[in-house]
Amino acid sequence: MTDIIQLLPDHVANQIAAGEVVQRPASLVKELLENAIDAKATSIILIVKDAGKTLVQVTDDGVGMSLTDARLSFERHATSKIKSADDLFNLHTKGFRGEALASIAAIAHVELKTRKEDVEVGTHITIEGSKVMSQEPSVVPKGTTISVKNLFYNIPARRNFLKSNPVEMRHIIDEFHRVALAHPSVSFQMLHNGSDIFNLPSSNLKQRIVNIFGIKTNEKLVPVNEETEILKISGFILKPEYGKKSRGEQFFFVNDRFIKSPYLHHAVASAFEGLIKADVHPGYFLFLEVDPHSIDINIHPTKTEIKFDDEHSIYAMLRATVKHSLGQFNIAPVLDFERDKGFDTPYEYGQKSPVAPSIDVDRDFNPFKEKPKQGNINFPFERKQTGSSWESLYVGLKDGFGSTQQFERTSSPSSALGINSTEMMEFESEEVTGSLFEKDKAEARQLTFQLQNKYIVSPLKNGIMVVHQNLAHQRILYEELLKNMTVKEAVSQQLLFPLQLNFSKPDVEIIEKIREQLENTGFVFSELKNESIEISGIPVMILESHVINLLHELVNHIKEDVPTQGFSQNDILAKSMAASMAIKTGISLNKEEQEHMINQLFACKEPSVSPDNRSVFIIIDSGDIDKKFL
């Protein structure tokens, strides 16, 4: 019987390993940036084209590699970080498996240029699909430059699974944030299709956070610092009022390595308990330093999961530290640069000594003496005739006016003034000629009511209809927004004072891409800068106070991994805006609002389903109700 087990060729094994190491262009960015950090670089430049599908290039000024090291770096399991198995539990570097470059070279065109500081000539290597095409000496600057072109060129199935450029770019920016936040002392620069996305100088952690997420982030940060025998915690948390409904600005770093840990996130969320709503997530930038021997980071291919020896103690200390920082924030005095200057002492009085006030007292005053004559001073509100009553004020009213109507005054203010509440007075009035609604029309109006501030119940001929008010309003808004974007006849209300809103630079770029669609819905943008937006007009269907939340939710929806095949940009935008603007569960509606929503719903083209294909209403037949009483 012949043997059936055989060793895989190296290029096949590398392609299999690439399935774990390289999932998308963001994986390239993570591996190459971490290699640059391990090379002790002080300045790193990331260049991306077509969201990494065409080119990902990382240039650093690190130690560089020799000719032999440059060639061996593309071999499987070749690394300078590990000498023995014990080194796996004492790691201080990023990449240590030696799979990254070998896997990348198996599914892309790779070009490497590197030179050590103590040599004059560097090395230039070109590899395509694990095959070395050229290797020659070259004059290159100190450090290393790796260019990865045409990702998945030899695996078309994997390339077809890549998402749209905005989605892939969002993942690349996320990986860039994680590396840049962990190393604020290293300067970073990022360019996409020739445009400058980030330019981060060497700084401290707080300045790095502000440079990435915008100048307004500075006022949101609360410092966190605690040091024990087994754990050191540092970083910042965001104030409770800046919590978001999406999981955005949440970063855990263990020994300067980004990790994902639902267990530690729960510790932070429990510290915010009672300060934020249940559906709101806190923001944080937390750095944990532990003994490398007490953790295992070799449990996941992307090395974003870590196993702790004593995770219960770390949970308790993290929760207590965050609570302590929140307590200090609530009681600590702060500098208020927006205080009212009207309470300041005028400059000319700042150096003057206080003077005691003088009091002029009439020592001959006697309250029991006869009231002195006041000359010709008149007191128009003084009652000169003490015996006259208030009825004299209404003398002649009946004779001087036409039709009169009596009414009984029973209000409490009249009783407080000593007026007889049962007396009748007459005043001019028009006769009531009819009701607000005609009798026949009033009887024809539907009898609707609201259930749990969530559903609208309306009777039918053979049963009842239950309408979900939030989903119904989403359908109404969705069709109206989609019509406005297509026909471009939206009505805009001009603001007396333009809105100044602050966003991060990537968020402003997203809004710039959908600016035309937003303007078709009624938005008027007077200015879009790097980190700020000025809005001078908004759609008539939203309130000015809701604009900032609407745009934040809209940007978050676009950042998410949404399908683009079969969906237009207008459709996705209309769905997102409708979900953000619709009446939420828990809002009370009066009868007119309930009936108006039902009438608008059944004027839609698809009233039975919401934009995300959920049922808007259900009908309960009277026969089904009768069965409940059998």
In the chain, how many H helices and how many E strands? 19, 24
Query: Final residue of a domain: which of 202, 235, 265?
Result: 202
Residues 482/489, Cβ–Cβ less than 8 Å: no
Residue 141 belongs to a domain: yes
pTM: predicted TM-score of the whole model, two decimal places: 0.65
In degrees to the nearest 10, what's the CA dihedral of 144, 150, 155, 161?
A: 110
Distance CA 587, CA 176 (A): 41
Residues 51/25, Cβ–Cβ less than 8 Å: yes
Residue 497 has pLDDT above 80, yes or no: yes
Paired strand residues for 48: 56, 192
Confidence category of residue 622, pLDDT binned at 50, 70, 90: confident
Distance CA 562, CA 572 (A): 9
Tell me: do 296 and 189 sit in the same domain: no
Residues 322/271, Cβ–Cβ less than 8 Å: yes
Tell me: do 179 and 235 sit in the same domain: no
Distance CA 443, CA 414 (A): 38
pLDDT reported for residue 391: 57
Tell me: do 242 and 140 sit in the same domain: no
Tell me: do 111 and 211 sit in the same domain: no
Tell me: do 214 and 74 sit in the same domain: no
Query: Final residue of a domain: which of 178, 202, 226?
Result: 202
| Domain ranges, residue 46 | 10-202
Tell me: do 168 and 307 sit in the same domain: no
Q: What percent of the chain has pLDDT over 70?
A: 76
Residue 353 belongs to a domain: no
Residue 367 belongs to a domain: no
pLDDT reported for residue 234: 94
Residue 105 has pLDDT above 80, yes or no: yes
* pLDDT tens figures, 51-99: 999 999 999 999 999 888 888 888 876 666 655 555 555 565 666 556 7
Both tokens of 356, joined, read 């005691």
Query: Hunting for tokens 């996409």 — which residue is that?
Result: 192
Both tokens of 80, joined, read 């300078």
* CATH number of the domain within which 595 lies: 3.30.1370.100
Query: Final residue of a domain: which of 276, 302, 330?
Result: 330
* CATH number of the domain within which 30 lies: 3.30.565.10
Nearest to 540 by CA among 597, 497, 471, 484: 484
Tell me: do 144 and 29 sit in the same domain: yes
Residue 18 belongs to a domain: yes
Residue 117 belongs to a domain: yes
Tell me: do 252 and 164 sit in the same domain: no
Query: Hunting for tokens 């390289």 — which residue is that?
Result: 22
Which range among 141-150, 237-246, 373-382 has the greatest average pLDDT? 141-150
Mean pLDDT within 500-513: 83
Residue 146 belongs to a domain: yes
Tell me: do 457 and 597 sit in the same domain: yes
Tell me: do 280 and 144 sit in the same domain: no
Task: Give how many domains the chain has, as a whole number.
Answer: 3
Residues whose CB is less than 8 angstroms from the CB of residue 379 and which lie 6 or more positions away in sequence, other chains included = none
* pLDDT tens figures, 374-431: 445 444 444 444 444 555 555 555 554 444 444 444 444 443 334 444 444 444 444 4
pLDDT reported for residue 157: 83
Tell me: do 551 and 503 sit in the same domain: yes
